[in-house]
A and B are shown apart, each in its own frame.
Chain A
Amino acid sequence: MKAPYSPRDIVDFVVIGSGAAGGVMAKELSEAGFSVVVLEQGPWLKEKDFLHDEIKFTMHSPLTNDTKRQPLTYRENDSMKARPLKAIEYGRQVGGGTVHFTGNYWRFHESDFHERTLFGGVPGTGFADWPLSYAELEPFYTKAEHDMGISGLGGANPFEGPRSKPYPLPPMPAKSSGVLLERAAKKLGLHAFPAPVAVLSKPYRGRSACTSCGMCEYFGCEMRAKSSTLVSVIPMALRTGRCEVRPDSYVRQIRMDSNGRTNGVLYFDANRREVFQKARAVALCANGVESPRLLLNSKTSRAPDGLANSSGLVGKYLMWDNGAFVSGLFEEPLNEFKGIQVGRVLHDFYNADPKRGFYGGGGIDARFNFYPVSFGLGGLPEDAPKWGAGYKRMLREYFTRTMSLLSHTTSLPQLTNNVSLDPDMRDAWGLPAARITYSPHADDLATLRWIQPKQEEILRAAGAKRVWRYPVDEFGMSLHLMGTCRMGLDPKTSVVNPYSRSHDVPNLYIVDGSNFVTSARQQPTATIQALAYRAADRIIAESKRGGL
Chain B
Amino acid sequence: MSGGFSTRRQMLASAFLLGAGAEIGEALQHAHQAVRQGFAVQSLPPEMAKEVEALVCQIIPSGDGPGARETGVIHFIDRALGTFAADQKDLYLRSMGEVQEVRRKMFPESASIAGLTDVQQIALVHAIEKTPFFGTLRTHTVMGFLGSPEYGGNQGGAGWAHIGFEDKMAFDPPFGAYDAAAERGGQ
The docked-state distance in angstroms from the alpha carbon of A109 to that of B55 is 54
Which of B1, B147, B166, B173 is close to A54, meaning CB atoms less than 8 Å apart?
A: B147
Q: Which A residues are in CB contact (< 8 Å) with B167?
A: 52
Cα–Cα, bound, A374→B10 (Å): 10
Q: Is the CB of A338 within 8 A of B176?
A: yes
Q: How far is the CA of A470 from the CA of B3 in the complex (A)?
A: 12
- Interface of chain B, helix or strand or loop or mixed? loop
Q: Are A376 and B3 in contact (CB under 8 A)?
A: no
Q: Mark A432-454, 1 if CB is under 8 A from B, else 0.
A: 00000001100000000000000
Distance of A194 from chain B, by nearest CB (Å)? 13
Instruction: Return chain B residues, CB-CB under 8 Å to A476.
Output: 5-10
Bound complex: CA A77 to CA B166 (Å):
45
| B2-45 vs A, Cβ < 8 Å mask (1 yes, 0 no) | 11111111111110011111001000000000000000000000
Considering only residues 98-138 of chain B, those with a C-beta below 8 Å from chain A are 122, 125, 129, 138
List B contacts of A56 (CB < 8 A).
21, 24, 148
Bound-complex Cα distance A62 to B22 (A): 8
Which residues from A are CB-within-8-Å of B165?
337, 372, 399-400
Q: Which B residues are CB-close (under 8 A) to A474?
A: 3-7
Interface residues of A in 439-479 (CB under 8 A from B): 439-440, 470-471, 473-477, 479
Q: Is the CB of A179 within 8 A of B58?
A: no
Closest Cβ neighbor of B11 among chain A residues: A378
Cα of A440 to Cα of B1 in the assembled complex, Å: 8
B143 touching A373, Cβ below 8 Å: yes
Inter-chain contacts of B14 with A (CB < 8 A): 59, 377
A475→B171 CA distance, assembly (Å): 34
Which B residues touch A212, using CB under 8 A? 170-173, 175
- Assess whether B147 is in contact with A439, with CB atoms less than 8 Å apart: no
How close is A233's CB to chain B, nearest CB, in angstroms?
26
Structural contact, B187 and A475, CB atoms closer than 8 A: no
What's the interface size class on A, roughly? 35 or more
Question: Are A477 and B175 interface neighbours, CB within 8 A?
Answer: no
Q: Which residues of A contact B82 (CB under 8 A)?
A: none
CB distance from B71 to the nearest CB of A (A): 11
Which of A53, A58, A59, A330 is the most central at the interface, judged by chain B CB atoms within 10 Å of its CB?
A59
Q: A52-B148, A372-B159, A372-B163 are in contact. Are A387 and B170 (CB under 8 A)?
A: no
Q: Answer yes or no: A548 CB below 8 A from chain B CBs.
A: no
Q: Which residues of B have CB within 8 Å of A68?
A: 19
**Cross-chain contact B61 with A388 (CB below 8 angstroms):** yes
Beta-carbon nearest neighbor of B143 in chain A:
A373
Q: Is the CB of B163 within 8 A of A377?
A: no
The contact of B169 among A180, A222, A400, A470, by CB within 8 Å, is: A222
Contact check, A400 vs B147: say whether CB atoms are below 8 A apart: no
A372 touches B160 (CB 8 A): yes
Stretch of A271-279, A389-397, A420-428, A521-529 on the interface side: A389-397
Given contacts A176-B178, A335-B176, A399-B163, contact A475 B3 (CB under 8 A): yes
Cβ contact within 8 Å between A393 and B176: no
Which residues on the A side are within 8 Å of B19 (C-beta)? 60, 66-68
Which residue of A59, A334, A400 contacts B12 across the interface (Cβ within 8 Å)?
A59
Instruction: Compute how far the CA of A386 lies from the CA of B142 in the bound complex, rounded to whole angstroms.
Output: 10
Q: Is A55 an interface residue (CB 8 A)?
A: yes
The CA-CA distance from A393 to B67 in the complex, in Å, is 11
In the complex, whether B52 has a CB less than 8 A from a CB of chain A is no
A199, chain B: closest CB distance, angstroms: 14
**Is A132 an interface position by the 8 A CB rule?**
no
B181's nearest neighbour on chain A, judged by CB, is A179
Contact of B182 among A61, A179, A378 (CB under 8 A): A179
Q: Provide the residues of chain B in CB contact with A330, threshold 8 Å.
A: 178
Asked, given contacts A387-B125, A392-B64, A475-B5, whether A60 binds B24 with beta carbons under 8 Å apart, the answer is yes
Residue pair B175, A176 in contact (C-beta under 8 Å): yes
Q: Are B178 and A471 in contact (CB under 8 A)?
A: no
- B137 shortest CB reach to chain A, Å: 9
A300: interface (CB < 8 Å)? no
Measured between alpha carbons, how far is A222 from B179 in the docked complex, in Å?
26
The reply on A28 being an interface residue by CB < 8 A is no
Is the C-beta of A78 less than 8 angstroms from some C-beta in chain B? no
Q: Does chain B have a CB within 8 A of A130? A: no
A466-498 CB mask vs B (1 if < 8 Å, else 0) is 000011011111010000000000000000000
A-B contact pairs, 5 of them (CB 8 A): A335-B164, A335-B176, A339-B173, A377-B142, A475-B5
List the 6 closest pairs (A to B, CB-CB), nearest first. Answer: A474-B3, A176-B176, A332-B177, A211-B170, A476-B7, A176-B178
Given A176-B176, A178-B179, A333-B176, 11 further pairs, Cβ under 8 A: A56-B148, A58-B12, A60-B24, A60-B84, A173-B175, A176-B175, A213-B170, A222-B169, A332-B177, A389-B63, A470-B7
Binding site for B on A (CB under 8 A): 52-56, 58-62, 66-68, 76, 85-87, 89, 173-180, 211-214, 218, 222, 323, 325, 330, 332-339, 369, 372-378, 386-389, 391-393, 395-396, 399-400, 406, 439-440, 470-471, 473-477, 479
B-to-A contact residues, CB < 8 Å = 1-14, 17-21, 24, 58-61, 63-65, 67, 84, 122, 125, 129, 138-139, 141-143, 145-148, 150-151, 159-160, 162-182, 187
